[in-house]
Amino acid sequence: MLKSNVMMKKKIMFFIALLVVRSGLLPLFLLIADRWSIRRKAVRRLSLPLLKKHRNSHFQILLYHRVNDEDDPFFRGIPTKVFERQMEILCRFFNVLPLEELMERMPKGDIPPNAVAITFDDGYRDNYENGFPILKRFNLPAAIFLTTGGIDSQHLLWHDRVFDAFRWTKAGSVSFEGREYPLRILSERRSALDAILGKIRMCTPEDRENLIGQLIHNLGVVDSHRDCWQKLTWQEIDEMSKERISFLAHTVTHPILTRMPIAGAENEILASKATIEKRLRCSVRFFSYPNGSRDDFNESIKKILKDAGFMGAVTTLWGTNGKDTNPFELRRIKIWGDLNLQTFAVRLVLYEFSSYIRNEGRRKWFN
């Protein structure tokens, strides 16, 4: 029953999106969504008036990771053609601005209508090979949050090692932390990956490395560097930085900062910032929390960022941003899984239209 409801919801969403885009009504919907939002009570039960005017301007931050056509079942990137079509929609109907500029405008209430920032996490090579030419063609700015330890390196980030192990294992099951996980079909592998990654994220960096080593051994694969996980080089970063792509801090090794001593977390943050600033001779003012959920940062981590001169930090918490948003808890939207151009465009309208709702509570209505 649940699965059929989800499928029906997707079909309705697709039909509405198709109607809006093909009828030429998208600009009108964007105009309304930028100025008005649904009243809170209207979500739960019918109440009049249904709409209320926005008090403050706001903007959305889109989150991407990889742009490629590999169709990796464990860490799927957005297909190159789909990314190109999404960027075309953004170029035609939205105001795409650098994250730094939007944050400078926010306290002044100077955010333009339908404002969007584009961000990538980690710094994968395909951002340069596949994403960069498209961004350049449409003259769109973007920010890439770099895990600096992976640049010009033959070492995989810890989570890439886990993805890679599940991608290549031939094992029919795997034992991990006293539990046996079946791996006979793809859905079982994905479930096992999610469960095991969740446990590994809870560990200290030292325990994490030991657990990953045991996992790789139990899966019967070779722990090696593969081209699909390659990160950017400094030469590529330098080239992109001259074409409206900014590079910001995302730690050195991508640890979960709240799962390590505060001195180690501080070193990860400051070293990442210092490396980028030294290489590109620029000021790095924004940070992305690894994993980015509510449990992955705290007041101590935010204090380190503020003391280091950061202007703000992005999370993976869902939502839009305005004057009332904590600059060190900026919300982002992971919309790269939407492979249909029409629903991509209309989702952004709906997210903006519903910007009054508490950010964590909105997703169930519009995803």
Per-residue pLDDT tens over the stretch 205-224:
889 999 999 999 999 988 76
Find the DSSP H helices in the chain.
Answer: 2-22, 26-35, 40-44, 80-93, 99-105, 125-126, 132-137, 158-168, 186-201, 205-219, 234-241, 262-280, 299-307, 341-353, 359-366
Enclosing H/E stretch for 291 = none
Tell me what the mean pLDDT of segment 329-340 comes to: 76
Q: What is the pLDDT of residues 220-253, one digit of tens each?
A: 988 765 665 789 999 999 999 999 999 999 999 9
Q: Which residues pair with 286 in a beta bridge?
A: 312
What pLDDT does residue 367 have?
39
Q: Using pLDDT thresholds of 50, 70 and 90, give the confidence band for residue 362.
A: very low
- Residue 291 above 70 pLDDT? yes
Find the DSSP H helices in 242-291.
Answer: 262-280
**Contact present, 251 and 147 (Cβ < 8 Å):** yes
205's CB contacts (< 8 A; 6+ apart) are 253, 255, 259, 260, 264
Decide which of 36 and 305 is more confident: 305
What pLDDT does residue 102 have?
95
> How far, rounded to the nearest angstrom, does the alpha carbon of residue 141 sit from its chain's CA centroid?
16
Residue 95, token pair as written in the block: 């105001």
Tell me what the mean pLDDT of segment 338-365 comes to: 58
What pLDDT does residue 14 have?
55
Decide which of 366 and 56 is more confident: 56
- Residue 364 above 90 pLDDT? no
Q: What is the pLDDT of residues 128-184, one digit of tens each?
A: 999 999 999 999 999 999 999 989 776 788 999 999 899 889 999 999 988 999 999
Share of the chain above pLDDT 90, in %: 59
What pLDDT does residue 43 have?
46
Tell me what the mean pLDDT of segment 274-294 comes to: 96
What pLDDT does residue 308 have?
97
Kindly give the interhelix angle for 359-366 and 341-353, rounded to the nearest 10 degrees. 140
What pLDDT does residue 96 have?
97
Tell me what the mean pLDDT of segment 172-201 comes to: 94
Q: Which of 266, 256, 240 is nearest to 316 (CA)?
A: 256
